[in-house]
């Protein structure tokens, strides 16, 4: 059974800082891994999808890396802004099922 852990659970930083959010998973036989953002009480927004054959993906200020063999993924946020405040969730896919971590709750202060 896939288990996903996200560290830290919560993070509060001043605007402008570069951030690293960590995700670890126990079953390395994944098809891909997605990172999502969730605002309070809302649905999830897909940020980045990394295929199992890829090492990283970039979108704007976001960069996600994947080390399948060690069961780790990292989301890097450059030059954080207050609008980045949200919960960030990672979800590796094994056999058409995504397993989510508990998320990292990020607060970026002006």
Partner 1 sequence: ETGVTQSPTHLIKTRGQQVTLRCSSQSGHNTVSWYQQALGQGPQFIFQYYREEENGRGNFPPRFSGLQFPNYSSELNVNALELDDSALYLCASSSAGQGITGELFFGEGSRLTVL
- Residues of this chain that interact with partner 1 (CB under 8 A) are 4, 31-32, 34, 36, 41-46, 49, 89, 91, 93, 95-103
Q: Which is nearer to partner 1, 79 or 97 (CB)?
A: 97
Least distance to partner 1 from the beta carbon of 62, Å? Answer: 15
Beta strand spans in the chain (E): 4-7, 10-14, 19-25, 32-38, 44-51, 56-59, 62-67, 72-77, 86-94, 97-98, 104-109
| 18 vs 26, beta carbon nearer partner 1 | 26
Query: What minimum distance in Å lies between the beta carbon of 69 and partner 1?
Result: 20
Q: Which is nearer to partner 1, 12 or 45 (CB)?
A: 45
Closest distance to partner 1 from the beta carbon of 18 (Å):
25
Q: Nearer to partner 1 by C-beta: 16 or 102? A: 102
Return left, alpha or beta for 71; rule: phi > 0 is left, psi -120 to 50 is alpha, else beta: left
10 Å CB burial of residue 89 (0-12, 13-18, 19+) is buried
């Amino acid at each position: 059974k896939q288990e996903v852990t996200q560290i830290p659970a919560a993070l509060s930083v001043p605007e402008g800082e570069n951030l690293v959010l960590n995700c670890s998973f126990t079953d390395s036989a994944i098809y891909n891994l997605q990172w999502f953002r969730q605002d309070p009480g809302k649905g999830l927004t897909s940020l980045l999808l990394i295929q199992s054959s890829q090492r990283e993906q970039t979108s704007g200020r976001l960069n996600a890396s994947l080390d399948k063999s060690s069961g780790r993924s990292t989301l890097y946020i450059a030059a954080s802004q207050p609008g980045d405040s949200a919960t960030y969730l990672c979800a590796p896919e094994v056999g058409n099922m995504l397993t989510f971590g508990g998320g990292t709750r990020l607060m970026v202060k002006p």
